[in-house]
Amino acid sequence: MLAGTELAQAGPLARSCLIPTERFLSLAPGSIGVQAYERKQLLERVEREGATVGAEIPETIEIDEVSLDLQAFVFETRQQDSIPSTHRERVEDVKTKLRRERVARKERLESAEISRETGEQLVESIIGIDRALHALDDLDSADLEQERAAAEMGDRKRWVRFLQQALGQDDTNDRRAQNGGVGP
């Protein structure tokens, strides 16, 4: 993307082809944009398995005209051992906004008249958003690990109880017999 000074240094032809849009420069009508095959390649990069491997989380990102220090937010959030419920709501809110922004940028990549350079910037920003989402989604895995461990312990207890019943070593059967077959 051409910054203010770069745009001023660009020739009149370059300036006449570029018009500002919401957050990126777009091509003016009549100028040459990204070709269909290039657009397809850009979209494939976004959807590629492992696209976020080695990708960096953007330092800042603008969502709904508000700038978010995304890299710092993700880093600080991941440093906490457990996320308090008040901060968890903020994390969920940021994740929702990031997903919406990802969809908006991908739709722009799919259908807007953009230059190859703008397309590359969109791809990099989408991959960066994906990287941030993966990092924030991994926070939930700690809770899932605890739930999985609790479920595994419950399964073990049920299995032991089943084996005891099958081998005739169940305490509850002995108590039922003592009570005349009623209750444990």
pLDDT in tens, 85-127: 778 888 889 999 999 999 999 999 998 999 999 999 999 999 9
Nearest residue to 32 via CA among 110, 113, 119: 113
Q: Is the distance from CB of 28 to CB of 18 less than 8 angstroms?
A: yes
- Whether 143 contacts 87, CB under 8 Å: no
Is the confidence at residue 49, as pLDDT, over 50?
Answer: yes
pLDDT at 30: 41
Residue 2 in this model has a pLDDT that exceeds 50: no
Distance, CA of 23 to CA of 84 (rounded, Å): 34
**Dihedral (CA of 47, 48, 52, 54) sign:** negative
* Secondary structure string (H, E, C) spanning 38-54: HHHHHHHHHHCCCCCCC
What's the whole-model pTM score?
0.58
Q: Which residue has the tokens 């957050």?
A: 23
Of the candidates 40, 47, 41, 74, the residue with the CA atom closest to the CA atom of residue 59: 74
- Predicted pLDDT of residue 97: 94
The span from the CA of 68 to the CA of 122, in Å, is 17
Q: For 21-106, where are the E strands, in sequence order?
A: 25-27, 61-63, 66-68
The H or E element spanning position 30 is: none
User: pLDDT band at residue 19, thresholds of 50, 70 and 90?
Assistant: very low
Tokens 């492992």 found at: 50
Q: Look at residue 6 in the predicted model and tell me its pLDDT.
A: 47
Least confident span in 3-12, 29-38, 56-65: 3-12
Q: Average pLDDT for residues 6-32, to the nearest whole number?
A: 47
Q: Is the pLDDT assigned to residue 173 strictly greater than 60?
A: no
- Coil, helix or strand at residue 22: coil
Residue 92, classed as helix, strand or coil, is helix
Q: Read off the tokens for 116.
A: 């190859």
Residue with the bigger pLDDT between 3 and 80: it is 80
